């Protein structure tokens, strides 16, 4: 349950992040990253052999080569497609499932052990099975991402509906509001922050799903690049893949934060 995040703390982080980004924190953050990279670079000259841990300048050079040859875009777009499709599919099925389960508490109680069992299962371990079932193409990775994220949407939406103020519903009832009116004015606006919080958590998990799928069986993608570089003892290749993955997750997280601020103006 650590992954269901209350929207009350999610947008808070957003607001704090916004102020830290817009105020003087950015130069300090950039300086810190620069210093860390510099220390890494120096350590690779004096403390260890770059064969084991590479060095930032070599990684930058590799990324440049990959970008020029077009391989960077090929691997990145493959991983992005897999993770993106898995994430969207999880949202498309998870949100209605969460609403349905919240409105049918008896069914939710019946399914609870099943859902919690599947949620608790280390779904990464399903990757070999998915490769077997769905092949080494895109689809097996989409399914990996999907299973990683699905429960986040279901559980968050259920929790969001559970936290709707009973007084608001009673008030609607006392004014004889129709079912559709209540869904439109209370239910949907109440779960929007929870859906966005699910996207925020889901981005990282969807990337994990896609990469794990690629590690097990594929012929392209950032996970595949990391895996094949590792197989050739090419630590610079491994780190290059990791850096791109890290940047992808950061950019996606920032984008969702931006969308949250645009949509949820009322907080």
Partner 1 sequence: MALMTSQREAKTGPVVAPAYASPPRAELKGLRISFPLPDMSMLEVISGISMSVAEGEFVAVVGPSGSGKSTILRALCGLLKPSGGEVTVDGKPVSGPPPGVGFMFQKDALLPWRTVAGNIRIGAELGSVPADQHEARIASLIKLLRLEGFENAWPRQLSGGMRQRVSLGRLLAYQPSLMLMDEPFGALDYQTKIAMGRELLSVWEAERRSIIFVTHDIEEAVTLADRVVVFSARPARIIADYKVDIPRPRHLRAMRSDPVFTQLTEAIWSDLAMPS
Dihedral in degrees, nearest 10, Cα atoms 58, 60, 66, 72: 130
Is 22 or 174 the residue whose CB approaches partner 1 more closely? 174
Nearest distance from residue 97's CB to partner 1, in Å? Answer: 23
DSSP 182-242: HIIIIIHHHHHHHHHHHHHHHHHHHHHHHHHHHHHS-SSSHHHHHHHHHHTT-HHHHHHHH
DSSP single-letter state for residue 3:
T
Half-sphere exposure of 90 (CA within 13 A, CB side): 33
Closest CA to 205 of 135, 136, 155, 134: 155
The helix/strand/coil state of 50 is helix
Binding site for partner 1 (CB under 8 A): 165, 167-168, 170-177, 181, 185-186, 189-190, 192, 264-267
Nearest distance from residue 168's CB to partner 1, in Å? Answer: 5
- Maximum Cα–Cα distance across the chain: 76
In angstroms, the Cα distances linking 17 to 10, 25, 96, 192, 258 are 11, 10, 30, 20, 11
DSSP single-letter state for residue 49:
-
Nearest distance from residue 180's CB to partner 1, in Å? Answer: 12
Is 164 or 215 the residue whose CB approaches partner 1 more closely? 164
Nearest distance from residue 190's CB to partner 1, in Å? Answer: 8
Nearest distance from residue 138's CB to partner 1, in Å? Answer: 38
Give yes or no for a contact between 92 and 153, defined as CB atoms under 8 angstroms apart. Answer: no
Is 61 or 165 the residue whose CB approaches partner 1 more closely? 165
Nearest distance from residue 267's CB to partner 1, in Å? Answer: 7
């Amino acid at each position: 349950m650590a992954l269901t995040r209350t929207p009350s703390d999610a947008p808070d982080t957003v607001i704090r992040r916004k102020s830290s980004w817009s105020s003087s924190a950015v130069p300090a953050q950039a300086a810190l990253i620069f210093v860390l990279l510099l220390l890494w670079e120096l350590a690779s000259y004096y403390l260890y052999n770059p064969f084991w841990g590479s060095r930032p300048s070599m990684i930058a050079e590799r990324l440049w080569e990959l970008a020029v040859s077009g391989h960077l875009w090929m691997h990145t777009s493959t991983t992005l497609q897999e993770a993106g499709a898995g994430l969207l599919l999880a949202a498309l099925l998870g949100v209605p499932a969460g609403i349905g389960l919240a409105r049918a508490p008896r069914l939710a109680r019946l399914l609870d052990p099943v859902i919690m069992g599947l949620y608790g299962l280390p779904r990464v371990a399903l990757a070999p099975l998915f490769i077997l079932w769905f092949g080494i193409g895109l689809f097996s990775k989409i399914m990996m991402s999907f299973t990683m994220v699905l429960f986040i949407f279901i559980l968050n939406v259920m929790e969001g509906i559970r936290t709707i103020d009973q007084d608001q519903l009673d008030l609607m009832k006392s004014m004889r509001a129709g079912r559709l009116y209540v869904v439109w004015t209370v239910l949907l606006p109440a779960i929007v922050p929870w859906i966005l919080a699910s996207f925020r958590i889901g981005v990282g998990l969807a990337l994990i799903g896609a990469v794990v799928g690629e590690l097990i069986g594929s012929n392209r993608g950032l996970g595949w690049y990391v895996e094949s570089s590792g197989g050739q003892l090419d630590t610079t290749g491994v780190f290059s893949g990791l850096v791109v993955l890290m940047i992808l997750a950061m950019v996606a997280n920032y984008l969702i934060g931006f969308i949250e601020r645009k949509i949820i103006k009322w907080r």
